[in-house]
Amino acid sequence: MAHSSKKLLLRRRPRRLRASEGVRRLIEEHAVTVRDLIAPVFCKEDGAREEIPSMPGVFRYQPQDALRFALDLHERGVPAIALFPCIPESNKDATGSAALDSDGLIPRVIREIKERAPSLLVIADVALDPYTTHGHDGIWNSETEEIENDVTVGLLCNMARVLGRAGVDFVAPSDMMDGRVGAIRASLDEADLERVGVLSYAVKFASAFYGPFRDAVGSRRAKGYLDKRSYQLNPANLREGLLEAQLDEAEGADILMVKPAGPYLDVISKVRDRTLLPVAAYQVSGEYAQIVAAAQNGWLDLEATYREALLSIKRAGADMIFTYFAPLFVGMRDSLTT
């Protein structure tokens, strides 16, 4: 078949700006760097590291191993870690009292890390679900089958002070109780802990993507699905999420977080447009697990896919990203089986 040789007279040829690697790099609008990443670290009391079955390549570490892992991340440029506990069932109760133990697992790990690497930023979760027998983020009233909001907030304030005194840089309330950011800020200030920042899980949805995380911290219930829809956000509601972010900013949050990240890029973008505060996003366990599982089946290229996923979160407006891919990003593991 004959082809016409007539040239199109085009003023604009966008492909000129995609013609070579050099040009593509020159005009690149967004990039993810190691400075954007926050690495979640799961801690346990003792024993050898344990791989989390639903999160291949992610482990629970006893305190000294958690310290070594954190130091390795920091030496490779990761600026911050987020600590999460997995405590024995025997240490749990209905009120999550172990969360208030100043010599508990997470306060001990914080002190060790800050002593060895004071410049490594440490973020600690403020919620009761890893410590409660029922797995909820607050105090569960079995008679009304509701979470007691104001009682929970009081306990979270106590927990935040414990973490602040241990040396944490940011407390991260992830519970979604009403008024907890303002109460925690006031409580920290009253305890002369005004240096401790509040990184609020401001827009946290009741997502199906959290399952592997609940395995990791041991908060999944044997009876099955744990319904947190009375306090976490409806995935269908954007405006409600923007209201939560606005309230947390007014109450004194230093950083606002959207969780999950990938399925909620529109929410990240809207929050970014409405605040001058830094915006964080959490690429959650289910996002990690689905990419890894597809790669292990040969359906996706692991590195290309997770980097694209991170880039999309940054492009949506996140200033920082909680991600389980941080070790791979900095070359700490060249496979998910080592």
The pair of structure tokens assigned to 326 is 């941080």
Confidence (pLDDT) at 334: 47
> In this structure, what are the phi and psi dihedrals at residue 222, rounded to the nearest 5 degrees?
-60, -30
Strands 80-85 and 121-126: parallel
- 244 known ligand binder: yes
The DSSP output letter for 7 is P
Q: CATH topology for 30-329?
A: TIM Barrel (3.20.20)
Q: Is residue 16 classed exposed, middle or buried when 0-12, 13-18 and 19+ CB atoms within 10 A define those classes?
A: exposed
Q: Is residue 118 classed exposed, middle or buried when 0-12, 13-18 and 19+ CB atoms within 10 A define those classes?
A: exposed
259 is catalytic: yes
Domains of the chain, by residue range, sit at 30-329
Confidence (pLDDT) at 220: 57
| 321 and 278 Cβ atoms separated by less than 8 Å | no
Residue in this structure with the two tokens 């923007």, named with its chain if needed: 242
Which residue, among 106, 220, 229, has the nearest Cα to 172 in the 3D structure? Answer: 106
Confidence (pLDDT) at 218: 66
Confidence (pLDDT) at 217: 74
- The active-site residue out of 204, 228, 270, 314 is 204
- The active-site residue out of 44, 92, 228, 259 is 259
Rounded to the nearest 10 degrees, what angle do helices 63-75 and 105-116 cross at?
40
Q: Where are the alpha helices (DSSP H) in the chain?
A: 21-26, 63-75, 105-116, 149-166, 180-190, 211-217, 238-251, 265-274, 285-296, 302-316, 326-329
Q: What is the pLDDT along the chain (338 residues), one digit of tens a residue?
A: 566 678 899 999 999 999 999 999 999 999 999 999 999 999 999 999 999 999 999 999 999 999 999 999 999 999 999 999 999 999 999 999 999 999 999 999 999 999 999 999 999 999 999 999 988 999 988 888 899 999 999 999 999 999 999 999 999 999 999 999 999 999 999 999 999 999 999 999 999 998 887 777 766 554 555 789 999 999 999 999 999 999 999 999 999 999 999 999 999 999 999 999 999 999 999 999 999 999 999 999 999 999 999 999 999 999 999 999 999 999 996 445 43
Confidence (pLDDT) at 336: 56
Report the C-alpha gap between 76 and 64 in whole angstroms.
Answer: 19
